[in-house]
Amino acid sequence: MSSQLIERNVIDRAISEAMAQGADFAEVFAEDSRSSVASLDDSIVDELSAGHSRGVGIRIVYGETTGFAHTSDLSEKSILEAVRAARAVRNVGESKVIDQVGTSPKGIEPRDVKIDKQRQVELLRRLDAVARDQGDQIAQVVAGIGQSQRRILVANSNGLFVSDEQFRSRISVSAVAKGDTGLQTGYHTAALTLTLDELMDRVNIEDVAIEAALLALLKLDAKPAPSGALPVVIKGGSGGILFHEACGHGLEADHIVKGASVYANRLGEKVASDLVTLVDDGTVGSEWGTYRYDDEGNPAQTNVLIQDGVLVDYMWDRNRSVKENHEVSGNGRRQSYKHLPMVRMTNTFMLAGADQPEDIIADTPNGIYVAKLSGGQVNTTTGDFVFGTSEAYLIENGRITAPLRDTNLIGNGPEILSLIDAVGNDFSMTPGTCGKAGQSVPVGCGQATLRVSSMTVGGTADA
């Protein structure tokens, strides 16, 4: 295969054809993605799987109307059929001459990266053995190792022509421990925007297995979480999900433009405690939400959303930035060529503060300490959101005490952001998968240890 997924002259003809009935914007998005996953379950390497998909999505915009079609056939004939299917949204229209600005392709040559399957298998066995070594009560281990390689090409009627290649790799372990009180689970993952070899060089692989197994064992002694409003201290790292749900989604311009966000029409207003500076940044190292170009061909960038508690900007894609006459922000993403791009987060994090994490805990007479979160969900219109714990403890008299069973916490975004009353000087990021309108994309979340002075904990024990 040539270094470009589709010949430049085919793309030019497709865009001309797409613009022929008076469109305002046309885009060709081509993608070739390969995945390789190996998994171990019940101490058996039960599956090695390889996936390959490629295709092209054609987007044509007439004012506020978007036509979209995609095909897995990269021939010119099939691409032009997709153009006609996408144009079906506009039955009539005058043809106009388009002024295409020719630019040379920006991007990189594809890399030929082979997966060492034998190394994958050996690593799975080691993860299994290390996890089981953590205690006799480890009853089951599932481990997975995978890499995806995604080449994209984006060209549009504004003359943009960009190609890119993205590698993402992940190692994950989930462990089940069996005790007198039933079954408990622990999960840990290491995931970076790198090749699998690079990831394995970068992280201590055995730590993934140890973390998962120790968490499952710890929870065998867990007590039911309390029920009711309490101070909540969230450890640096996966607590970034709090911001992803409490305000991240609500700052996506598609929700803003439709008035479906509690943060609409609030630029310049105080929306959080003074301690909160929130950033969405697709350029951070090799974090899980990092990329060079978004799926509309715009470079990833650093976007400050909340500065010292004041709302300063939203996140943008092409359609919303045109409608509101705003710059794009590199947040136009799509799951694959079969999906329309929309506004999505990249790596979303709150900047660290000044307090020692241990002082924040010592300064909390009673509450809960959340060390690991499992995910969350938000209604952007009302701001109500939940997030779940997978490792949490009681705080009694300023000290971390008994581990707690998994529970959800619930709050309202703007209220919770105003109740953040301590922020630590530590910081870390964790990988996650964000779902929105049926599309999943990889994201990073990060924060320092922080305290919310009161939040509803959804357990079953009296608070």
Partner 1 sequence: MPEMQDVKKLVQEIVERATGREQIEVVASRAVETDIMVYEANVESLTRAESIGIGIRVINNGRMGFAHCGTSDYDSVIEALEAARDNSRFATEDQFAALVAPDGVDAATLDLIDPEFHKPTLEEKIALAMELEALITRGDPRVTKVESSNYSEAEAEGFVASSEGIFAHTRETFAYISGHAIAEQDGDTRTGGGYSVSRGLSGIDVNKAANDVVSRCTELLGAKKPASTRATVIFDPRITATLLSIVGGSLSADAAQKGRSMFSGRIGEQIASPAFQLVDDPTEPRAQGASLFDGEGLACRRNSLIENGVLMTFLYDSYTARKEGRASTASAVRGYSSTPSPGPMALQLAPGELDQEELIKLVQNGILIRSISGVHSGVNPISGDFSVGAEGIIIQDGERKHAFKEATIASTIQRMLMGVVAIGSDVEWLPGISAGPSIAIENMSLSGI
Residues between 316 and 335 that touch partner 1 (CB under 8 A):
none
User: Of the candidates 194, 217, 343, 373, which one interacts with partner 1 according to CB under 8 A?
Assistant: 373
CB of 72 or CB of 366, closer to partner 1: 72
Q: Token pair of 274, please?
A: 């003074």
CA terminus-to-terminus distance, the chain? 63
Amino acid found at 414? P
CB-CB contact of 427 with 448 (8 Å): yes
Task: Give the CA distances from residue 65 to residues 22, 62, 90, in Å, rounded to whole numbers and listed in that order.
Answer: 12, 5, 9
Nearer to partner 1, 35 or 301 (CB): 35
Residue 161 or 385 with smaller CB distance to partner 1: 385
Max CA-CA distance within the chain? 75
From 16-24, 180-188, 285-293, 394-402, span contacting partner 1 (CB under 8 A): 180-188
Site for partner 1 contains 38 (CB under 8 A): yes
Pick the closest to residue 78 from 57, 53, 109, 49 (CA basis). 57
Rounded to whole angstroms, the Cα distance separating 144 from 102 reads 45
Tell me which stretch binds partner 1 (CB under 8 A): 98-106, 164-172, 367-375, 442-450: 367-375
Residue identified by tokens 């004041």 is 310
- Binding flag, residue 88, partner 1 (CB under 8 A): yes
When the beta carbons of 424 and 459 are compared against partner 1, the nearer one is 459
Q: Would you say 56 or 361 has its CB closer to partner 1?
A: 56
Helix H or strand E segment including 190: strand 182-192
- Supply the minimum distance, in Å, between the C-beta of residue 106 and partner 1: 26
- Selected from 102, 259, 265, 325, the binder of partner 1 by CB under 8 A is 259
Selected from 11, 69, 328, 422, the binder of partner 1 by CB under 8 A is 69
Among 2, 9, 42, 204, binds partner 1 (CB under 8 A): 42
- Shortest Cβ 49–partner 1 spacing (Å): 4
Which CB atom, from 309 or from 376, has the smaller least distance to partner 1?
A: 376
CB of 15 to partner 1, least distance (A): 19
Residues 382, 399, 401, 402: which binds partner 1 (CB under 8 A)? 382
Q: What track of x and - describes contact with partner 1 for positions 105 through 124 (by CB under 8 A)?
A: ------------xx-xx---
Which of 151, 170, 188, 219 forms a contact with partner 1 (CB under 8 A)?
Answer: 219
> Nearer Cβ to partner 1, position 244 or 451?
244
Token pair in block for residue 77: 């004939």
- Does residue 227 belong to the site contacting partner 1 (CB under 8 A)? yes
Q: Which is nearer to partner 1, 70 or 451 (CB)?
A: 70
Of 341, 342, 345, 343, nearest to 279 by C-alpha is: 345
User: Is 159 or 435 the residue whose CB approaches partner 1 more closely?
Assistant: 435
CB atoms within 10 A of CB 328: 22
Of residues 400 and 461, the one with the C-beta less far from partner 1:
461
One of 6, 86, 143, 371 touching partner 1 (CB under 8 A): 86
User: Beta strands 138-156 and 302-307: pairing type?
Assistant: unpaired
Please report, as residue ranges, which positions from 401 to 420 form the binding site for partner 1 (by CB under 8 A): 405-412
Query: Contact between 52 and partner 1 (CB under 8 A)?
Result: yes
* Inter-axis angle of helices 8-19 and 76-87, nearest 10: 20
Is residue 159 at the binding interface for partner 1, with CB under 8 A as the rule?
no
Please check whether residue 347 is in contact with residue 353, taking contact to mean a CB–CB distance below 8 angstroms.
no
Distance of CA 293 to the CA centre of its chain: 15
* DSSP conformation letters of 100-162: PPP-PPBS-PPP-----HHHHHHHHHHHHHHHHTT-TTEEEEEEEEEEEEEEEEEEETTS-EE
Asked if 404 contacts 461 with a C-beta cutoff of 8 angstroms, the reply is: no
Pair 115, 129: CB distance under 8 Å: no
